[in-house]
């Protein structure tokens, strides 16, 4: 059976859906009654090992920051014809700040027309959508809740992660609230495909158990700090097979504040259209972004960039190929978009351009997309 990448998609939280979708068989803790059973000895907490106590403390400290998200869909009642909101699926999120901002995956709320957020104390609040960035599968919701119920999660760093270090995931797999799983960083700098065919780079791979319902939940280091947002699994069955992926927190920390500020992630533009990598092969150009069109009045036109075009006799007139931005190589249009996401509209950058065998540097000012 071929392994496939699957979303830990929202799962309806009813008992029937839980049993069928999870393939769970719930049995009693003991199969028969015993009248001669002796009381079991209770192990004092002091008898736990240091690593166990650390796990207990991490969960105690972080679980209040983890929330359960129920996405809602509109449905017309068969008899009254009234439109009402019904549960569509569930996922996980976490508290970003005491203003009530909740971070989750975009695919958790994709297609929904409402959402409810349940906090760790089981209080529930209607959520509004603040902003989303599908290219990185991130979304921000907001709830109106007392500040003392909104402990923000501690933010860590993903740039200094090491393969083999211990990690923890807290989420709601199969609708089972506040579940803690442990594992290690299995690999770094993985690439996965977002649902809209954009590449997410620098992804963390972990063997911590991640299942449907874990989407949008935090991946933590041993100091209880956020290092990633759980988003996908590789599995032949759709359940955990020990290969999970998390969006690195450095990406999250770059995107979320802009979603909160602007309601969307505004990627600055060059004002160009580009061809596929096969065009570079056909034109025998270096690896980069071959321009097919330069928008009128845009930054590229103002900087003198030229697209490839046909001359009066049908010949190919050489245009520009963008090979780097601020000396960082870009190999295709997807890498160009990822590089532009590091900047704001109005920022000045320097392009490395190739045309007809000649290389040059060209400064220009990025613009806000129309």
CATH number of the domain enclosing 319: 2.30.42.10
Do 298 and 233 share a domain, yes or no? Answer: no
Residue 36 lies in a domain: no
Pairing of strands 154-155, 225-235: parallel
Model confidence over 189-235: pLDDT tens digits?
Answer: 998 888 777 788 889 999 998 888 888 999 999 999 999 999 988 87
Check 215, 224, 235, 240 and give the catalytic one: 215
- Domain range for 196 is 154-262
Domain boundary residue among 262, 285, 310?
262
Q: 197 is written with which tokens? A: 């065919």
Q: How many domains does the chain have?
A: 2
Structure tokens that stand for 113 in this block: 């027309």
| Last residue within a domain, chosen from 262, 297, 315 | 262
Q: SS3 helix, strand, coil % of the chain, rounded to 5?
A: 20, 40, 40
Query: In terms of domains, do 214 and 162 share one?
Result: yes
The whole-angstrom separation of Cα 152 and Cα 173 is 22
d(CA 4, CA 232): 11
| Residue 55 forms part of a structural domain | no
Residues 328 and 295 placed together within one structural domain of the fold: yes
pLDDT digits over 19-72, tens only?
333 444 433 333 344 445 555 555 566 688 888 899 999 999 999 999 999 988
The whole-angstrom separation of Cα 263 and Cα 70 is: 21
Confirm whether 341 is domain-assigned.
yes
CATH of the domain at 195: 2.40.10.10
Whether the per-residue pLDDT at 143 is higher than 90: the answer is: yes
Last residue of a domain, one of 227, 262, 297: 262
Shared domain check, 319 and 297:
yes
pLDDT, one tens digit per residue, over 285-320 is 899 999 999 999 999 999 999 999 888 888 888 899
Q: Does 137 qualify as catalytic in the annotation?
A: yes
Q: Would you say residue 144 lies in a domain?
A: no
**101 counts as catalytic:** no
Residue 245 lies in a domain: yes
Instruction: Answer yes or no: do 220 and 295 share one domain.
Output: no
């Amino acid at each position: 059976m071929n392994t496939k990448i699957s979303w830990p998609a929202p799962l309806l939280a009813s008992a029937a859906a839980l049993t069928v979708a999870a393939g769970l068989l719930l049995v009693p803790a003991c199969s028969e009654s015993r009248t001669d059973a002796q009381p079991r000895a209770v192990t004092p907490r002091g008898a736990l090992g240091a690593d166990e106590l650390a796990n207990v403390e991490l969960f105690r400290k972080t679980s209040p920051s983890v929330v359960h998200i129920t996405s809602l869909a509109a449905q017309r009642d068969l008899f009254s014809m009234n439109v009402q909101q019904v549960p569509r699926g569930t996922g996980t999120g976490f508290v970003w700040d005491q203003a009530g901002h909740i971070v989750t995956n975009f695919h958790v709320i994709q297609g929904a027309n409402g959402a409810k957020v349940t906090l760790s104390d089981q209080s529930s609040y209607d959520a509004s959508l603040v902003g989303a960035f599908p290219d990185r599968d991130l979304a921000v919701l907001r709830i109106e809740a007392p500040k003392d119920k909104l402990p923000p999660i501690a933010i860590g760093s993903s740039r200094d992660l090491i393969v083999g270090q211990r990690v923890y995931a807290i989420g709601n797999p199969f609708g089972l609230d506040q579940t803690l799983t442990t594992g290690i960083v299995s690999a770094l700098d993985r690439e996965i495909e977002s649902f809209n065919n954009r590449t997410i780079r620098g992804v963390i791979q972990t063997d911590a158990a991640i299942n449907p319902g874990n989407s949008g939940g935090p991946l933590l280091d041993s100091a209880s700090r956020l290092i990633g947002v759980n988003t996908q699994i590789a599995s032949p069955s759709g359940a955990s097979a020990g290969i999970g992926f998390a969006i690195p927190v450095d990406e999250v920390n770059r995107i979320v504040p802009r979603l909160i500020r602007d309601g969307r992630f505004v990627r600055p533009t060059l004002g160009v259209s580009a061809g596929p990598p096969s065009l570079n092969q056909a034109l025998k150009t270096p690896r980069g972004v071959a321009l097919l069109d330069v928008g009128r009045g845009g930054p590229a036109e103002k900087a003198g960039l030229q697209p490839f075009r046909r001359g009066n006799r049908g010949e190919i007139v050489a245009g520009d190929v963008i090979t780097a931005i601020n000396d960082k190589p870009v190999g295709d249009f997807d890498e160009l978009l990822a590089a532009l996401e590091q900047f704001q509209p109005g920022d000045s950058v320097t392009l490395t351009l190739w045309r007809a065998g000649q290389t040059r540097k060209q400064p220009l000012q990025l613009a806000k997309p129309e």
